[in-house]
Structure formats: C-alpha cells, structure tokens
Amino acid sequence: MDPELLLIILVDGLVYGSYLFMVAVGLTVICGVQKLLNVTHGALYAFGAYLAATLLILYFRLDWPQFGAFAVMLLSALFLGVVFGLIIERGLLRHLYHEDEHIIVLATFAAFLVLEDVLLLIWGTDPYLAPEPLGLLGATEIAGLPFDNYSLSMVLLSAVVAAVLWYGLNRTQFGKLLLAVIYDRELAQAMGINVNRIFLLTFMLGSFLGALGGAYQAPAISVQPGIGVEVIVLAFAVVVIGGMGSIPGALIGSVIVGVARAFAVHQEPALELFVIYMIMAAVLIVRPQGLFAPAKPRTI
Amino acid sequence: MTWRRDKTLWGLTLGLAALLLLNFVVPDWFTNILTLSLARGSVALGLLVLWRCGLISFGHALYFGFGAYTVGLMSRYLGITDAFLTIACGVVTAGVLAYGLGFLLRQYRGIFFALLNMAFSMILYGVLAKLEELGSTDGISLEATTYLWYAPLGAENKTALFVFAAILTWGVAVLVHLYLRSTLGHMTTAVRENEIRLGYLGYSGERAVHAKYVISGLLGGFGGAVAALTIGHVDPDSMVYWPVSGDFVFIAILSGTGNVVAPFIGALMYELIRTYAFDQFPGIWQLIMGGTLLAIIMFLPNGLWSLVERRRSRGGPGSADRLQAREEEA
C-alpha cells in the first residue's frame, strides 16, 4: 500500500483512538473499581460537550485571553463530574450495589434515558457550534493533507491522562487504597478502608473523564442530540476489547479500534461500524476477559 | 398437572378471546398498539426463557431486526407480501442464525453473554446502516400485506393483521408454556442455580442454554416480522440499534419472569406508557420511560407479575409454600 496513505490512516486512527480513549477510560475506571458497566457515561459525554460548547460561545464573546478556552473546558468537565457523580452515585447506584450486575446496567440505562431528555430540555434540538479553539492551534501538513493541530493535541491529552492515571494508581496513597478495593472489596472494608467514599470518588473521577472527553471534543464536532447514544456503545466496545477495568487495556483497545476504523473509512467506508464490532465480538470469543485483564485464579 | 387445570393455558385463551373482542370496540390506532405489544411481548418472552437460566441478552434487537429485515427484503426484492410466508421466513432465518451463534454463546455466562450478544447486534446494525442495497439508514418500506388470497386495504388490513398476529402469538405462548413445563424447561432454573451439579446429574447445561437461545431467537424473529408488518417499514435505528435491545430488557424487567402471560402484559404497559408519554409530553417521553424503569427496579424488582403472585399468596397459613410450588410448576 501507498506509504503516504498508510501514514494518513495511522494519524487518523490515532486521533480517533484518542477520542475513544478519553471516553472509554472513565468507563473502565468505574468498571474496574465498582464492577459495573455505566451507561450514563454516554450522557456525561454529551453533557460535557453541550456545556463546554455553550460556555465557549459565551467565553469568546468576552475579550479575554483566547487560551482560557482550555480552562473553560476543564472547569465545565470538573463541575459536571462532581455534580453528576454525586447525584448518580449517591442517589441511584448506592441503593443497587447488592443487585444483580444486569439490573445495575439496566438502571444506568434508565438513568441515561432520563438524562438524555434533561439534555434536550436544557439545550433543545438545535446543534451548537464552537469551533474557535480549532483556529487557535493552527494546522500541520502530514503527507500532503492538512491536519488541524487541535485534533492532534487530543493524542497528547490522552497520553497525559493515561500517564496521570497510571501514576495516581500505582504511586499514590489513594491509588493503593483503590487497588485494595479492586482486588477484594470486603477485605478492604474489613481493613478499615471507607469503601463508600472510594466508590463515590471513583465515580466522580470517571464521570469527570467522560465529561472531559465530551468537552474537549466539542469544538471539533457539531454538538447535537444523539452523540451520547453513539459514543457509549463505542466506549463499551473499547472497554470490552481492552479488558473491563484495565487502563492500559483501554489505551490499546482504543488504538486498535481507531486504526481499524481508519483503515475501513479509507478503504471501504461501508465497513466502518462492522469492523469495530467485529473486533469486539472476536475478542469476546477468543479472550472474553479482554486483551489486558489481569490474570485471576480459577474459583472452581 | 393436567391440561384442564392449567390456569396459564386458560388465562392465555381467555386473553386471546378478550383481545379479539376488544378489537371491535377500540379505534384503529389502538389496534396498532395492541399488535405492536404482541410483537414486543414475544421478544420479551424469549428473554424470559433466557432469564430463567440467569442469562440476559443486551442484543436481542439482532433477532428482532433479522426477522423484520427478512420480511422487508422479501417485500422489496421478491415482491412477496403474504403474511404466512413472510412471518414463517422471518422466524426461520432468525432461528437458523440463533442456532449458529448459539454454538458460541452457550459457552458464556453473565455479563460476557450479554455483551457478546450486543456485539453481534451492533455488527448487524453496522451492515444494515451502511449498505445501500439493504436500505441504509432510511430503511425499506413494505408493500401492503396479503393473507393467501385475501388482500385487505387500509383499516381492514390493520384489523386482519391484528387478528392474525393475536392467534399466532397465542400459539407461540402456549408452546413456550408447555416447553417450560417439560424436563428440558425445568433445567433452566437448574442452570441458574448450580450448573456444575447439573453436569454431575448427567445433563448438559450448555445444551440446555443452546436450546433456550434458539427459542429466544425464534421468538425474536417472530416479534420482528410482526412488527415490520405492523409498522409497514423497517429501518436500522428503530429496530436494530442498541437502545432497542435495552427496551426489550426493560419490558422483561417490567413484566417479571413468573409466567408466560407476563411479557405480554408488560409489553402492553410499555406501549401504553410510551404512546401516552409521546402524545402528551413529547419533550420528556424518554424521561418518563426511564423514570418508570427506575421505579420498577427500585420498588417492584420482580415486575408486574409479582403483584399477581402477591395477591394469590394472601391465602392463609402455608401460602408461601404454595406460592413457591406454583412458581416451580409454572
């Protein structure tokens, strides 16, 4: 194959993969610690995109330094993560931890439906556009095609998020507590770890990451109804491919999905979705625990 | 238990009679709602069969969509509009697909089973939404349905389809009920409770799951075919996308697993809430649906059918044991 096309596919794939990683990483953190698949994550992504788009439109009307736009995105994600994390975890999930895992997924699906309509009530059905931050960073030419630096910066952001999470999990006290809860919740509780607090903080962290994914993506897309529905199932695919609860898994999974999708888009566009879910099914068939799930002793 | 004393069979038959009579009283649009609830109820019945062995599928829109698209493609490419033939083909193709995929899926339990189903349904979605030959995102519109030599038009067709679907659904529900009463049917609960012990007793849990999976696939195809004929149009977003699968699980939770009648009551409730919410509060109908689902999960975890059972069990001392015995029979 033409090496220039290959380069373009790789760059495209990395950009799309980092977009997927930003959404999937929050999902996988929640999944790893609380052992639940959280459908509301899609709504958090959508809320992040909407809030950031709205605030960015307002921000650029002021005559403040333009690079403050990035702070706007970060703060809106932080706000959403804390508020929604608190509402969903305390208000809903707290009462359901003893239930069957399927029931919890379904409860988050119900909450997702509710949040989708709340979104429509607040922002209506019109698309929101806030492309100004794209212009701030300019563009780079790769293999004769212009790529805007904003999209490329998403790869950087993903790398930073992955590094910070890795450091936080493996080198800080909170990370050690988290690992203890991941390995054995009851034993951790018996040792005096406040598992309820850990759950709440984890859920807030995960929700923040989901909202950040949406907020950072907002300038690059047209923010409109339905983006949450679309993204959550993709994030599910990535989390399953990488292994539920594994951060390196989510990283590799999103790169695999991103590059495979880029191949499909450039070679045979009709196969775009087919390829993604084919990989998901293949991974579930060959290695259902995911490519990077930690080894576990057999219980039987 | 003899046939004559089986309350479920009586209930199903009375329900069919009531539906057929109701059809003369209610307006046209309501007939459509009834037919659609029969279709969705059938899919939820398939999920009930799986749920009895502790499995939930997040991807049964796969079979629903497969049945619906079989009907749609037959109408578009072969010009076949006969209800007998199209529904039969929808059921058979979905059943064959379930039989094939069943060899894989029967090895999985818990969340992996649910997610693998979801992956397969999204593969179908991806194919349908992108291929122009299969209607792409616009879908396929169907020609008016015919019944052998009988070719009704307009409102008469809706009534004809409803009567046809009601009788077929009755037959399907009776068959599933008889199946659940059989030895193979009772193995559902055994798989859920202790599959290893089941193996030591000389039964194969995997084969039991496979059989149930094929049944749920057939029911999904049936529901999809009936829904396609009712709506007169098939498209990927409203028939194969992942929220559709979520809705089926929603109906199953709303109904409860107590009895084969439950999914149809649940599906009717679902359609009524949805239609009413969409009509009266178009801006917040999803909110109402989600709120209903949350309320059911929180306050009525065994579904609407548990209300029926609770009423039955108020029969004095020892009634709890009788309730349990009845659950095992059903």
Report yes or no: B171 at the A interface, CB cutoff 8 Å: no
pLDDT value at residue B2: 59
pLDDT value at residue B324: 52
Report yes or no: A87 at the B interface, CB cutoff 8 Å: no
In a domain, residue A161? The reply is yes
In a domain, residue A186? The reply is yes
* Domain tally, chain A: 1
Range of A107-111, A291-295, B311-315 with top mean pLDDT: A107-111
> Comparing C-alpha atoms, which of B274, B258, B316 is closest to residue B51?
B258
* Residue B49 scores a pLDDT above 80: yes
In a domain, residue B312? The reply is no
Task: List pLDDT tens digits, range B108-161.
Answer: 888 889 989 999 999 999 999 888 888 788 888 888 778 877 777 777 788 888
How confident is the model over A87-107, as a mean pLDDT?
A: 89
In a domain, residue A183? The reply is yes
In a domain, residue A300? The reply is no
pLDDT value at residue A259: 93
Q: Are A216 and A157 in contact (CB under 8 A)?
A: yes
> Comparing C-alpha atoms, which of B145, B233, B111, B125 is closest to residue A37?
B111
> Comparing C-alpha atoms, which of B255, B258, B253 is closest to residue B330?
B258
In a domain, residue A47? The reply is yes
* Residue B171 scores a pLDDT above 80: yes
DSSP state of A61: T
How confident is the model over B251-267, as a mean pLDDT?
A: 89
How confident is the model over A45-55, as a mean pLDDT?
A: 94
How confident is the model over A30-48, as a mean pLDDT?
A: 92
Domain that holds residue B150: 7-241
- Span of A190-194, B263-267, B303-307 with lowest mean pLDDT: B303-307
Task: List pLDDT tens digits, range A145-196.
Answer: 788 888 888 999 999 999 999 999 889 998 999 888 888 888 989 999 999 9
Residues β-bridged to residue A273? none
Q: How many whole angstroms separate alpha carbon A52 and alpha carbon A58?
A: 10
Instruction: pLDDT band for B313, please (50, 70, 90 cuts).
Output: low
- Give the number of C-alpha atoms closer than 13 A to the C-alpha of residue A90, restricted to the C-beta side: 9
Q: How many whole angstroms separate alpha carbon B329 and alpha carbon B89?
A: 33
Token pair belonging to B280: 């009266």
Contact A229 B243 (CB under 8 A): yes
- Span of A14-18, A101-105, A130-134, A216-220 with lowest mean pLDDT: A130-134
Contact A233 B242 (CB under 8 A): yes
Q: Give the distance from residue B108's alpha carbon to the nearest chain A alpha carbon, in angstroms.
A: 9
Residues of chain B neighbouring A281 (CB-CB closer than 8 A): 116, 119-120, 123
User: pLDDT > 90: what percent of chain B?
Assistant: 40
pTM, entire model: 0.89
Contact A99 B301 (CB under 8 A): yes
Instruction: pLDDT band for B314, please (50, 70, 90 cuts).
Output: low
CATH number of the domain within which A58 lies = 1.10.3470
Q: How many whole angstroms separate alpha carbon B135 and alpha carbon B69?
A: 10
When comparing pLDDT for B176 and B53, which is higher? B176
Contact B301 A270 (CB under 8 A): no
Task: List pLDDT tens digits, range A242-293.
Answer: 888 888 889 999 999 999 999 998 888 888 889 999 999 998 888 888 777 6
Instruction: pLDDT band for B3, please (50, 70, 90 cuts).
Output: low
In a domain, residue B277? The reply is no
Q: Are B42 and B261 in contact (CB under 8 A)?
A: no
Q: Which residue of A has its CA nearest to B287?
A: A114
Contact B114 A102 (CB under 8 A): yes
DSSP string across A96-122: TTTS-HHHHHHHHHHHHHHHHHHHHHH
In a domain, residue B80? The reply is yes
> Comparing C-alpha atoms, which of A272, A203, A213, A278 is closest to residue A240?
A278
pLDDT value at residue A270: 84
pLDDT value at residue B218: 96
Instruction: pLDDT band for A299, please (50, 70, 90 cuts).
Output: very low
* Domain tally, chain B: 1
Q: Are A248 and A66 in contact (CB under 8 A)?
A: no
Q: Are A8 and A140 in contact (CB under 8 A)?
A: no
Q: Are B286 and A117 in contact (CB under 8 A)?
A: yes
How confident is the model over B202-206, as a mean pLDDT?
A: 82
Residues of chain B neighbouring A265 (CB-CB closer than 8 A): none
DSSP state of B60: T
- As a whole number, the mean pLDDT across chain A is 88
Residues of chain A neighbouring B53 (CB-CB closer than 8 A): none
Q: How many whole angstroms separate alpha carbon B85 and alpha carbon B215?
A: 20
* Residue B302 scores a pLDDT above 80: yes
Phi-psi region of B148 (alpha: psi -120 to 50; beta: other; left: phi over 0): left
Q: Which of A92, A117, A240 lies nearest to residue B286, judging by beta carbons? A: A117
pLDDT value at residue B245: 93
User: pLDDT > 90: what percent of chain A?
Assistant: 44
Task: List pLDDT tens digits, range B223-247.
Answer: 999 999 999 899 999 899 999 999 9
- As a whole number, the mean pLDDT across chain B is 85
Beta strands in chain A (DSSP E): 139-142, 145-148
Listed by number, the residues of chain B in 214-243 with a beta carbon closer than 8 Å to a beta carbon of chain A are: 241-243
pLDDT value at residue B185: 75
- Evaluate the CA torsion angle B178, B182, B187, B189 in order and state its sign: positive
In a domain, residue B295? The reply is no
Report yes or no: A268 at the B interface, CB cutoff 8 Å: no
Contact B120 A281 (CB under 8 A): yes
In a domain, residue B106? The reply is yes
Q: Give the distance from residue A10's alpha carbon to the nearest chain B alpha carbon, in angstroms.
A: 22
How confident is the model over B298-305, as a mean pLDDT?
A: 85
Token pair belonging to A237: 């695919």
Report yes or no: B131 at the A interface, CB cutoff 8 Å: yes
Domain that holds residue A22: 3-286
Residue B103 phi, psi (nearest 5): -60, -35
In a domain, residue B159? The reply is yes
How confident is the model over B263-267, as a mean pLDDT?
A: 92
Q: How many whole angstroms separate alpha carbon B181 and alpha carbon B184?
A: 8
Instruction: pLDDT band for B318, please (50, 70, 90 cuts).
Output: very low
In a domain, residue A295? The reply is no
pLDDT value at residue B19: 86
DSSP string across B160-215: HHHHHHHHHHHHHHHHHHHHHHSHHHHHHHHHHH-HHHHHHTT--HHHHHHHHHHH
Maximum C-alpha span of chain A: 66
Contacts of A190 (CB under 8 A, 6+ apart): none
Q: Are B79 and B137 in contact (CB under 8 A)?
A: no
- Evaluate the CA torsion angle A88, A91, A94, A95 in order and state its sign: negative
Give the strand pairing for A139-142 and B140-141: unpaired
Q: Which of A99, A113, A300 lies nearest to residue B290, judging by beta carbons? A: A113
pLDDT value at residue B321: 47
* Residue B329 scores a pLDDT above 60: no
Q: How many whole angstroms separate alpha carbon B198 and alpha carbon B201?
A: 5
Report yes or no: B281 at the A interface, CB cutoff 8 Å: no
Instruction: pLDDT band for B4, please (50, 70, 90 cuts).
Output: low
Q: Which of A113, A227, A265 to mutate to test the interface with B (most CBs of B within 10 A)?
A: A113
In a domain, residue B174? The reply is yes
Amino acid at A149: N
Q: Give the distance from residue B219's alpha carbon to the nearest chain A alpha carbon, in angstroms.
A: 21
In a domain, residue B298? The reply is no
When comparing pLDDT for A48 and A297, which is higher? A48
Contact A272 B242 (CB under 8 A): no
* Residue B320 scores a pLDDT above 50: no
- Evaluate the CA torsion angle A107, B286, B293, B137 in order and state its sign: negative
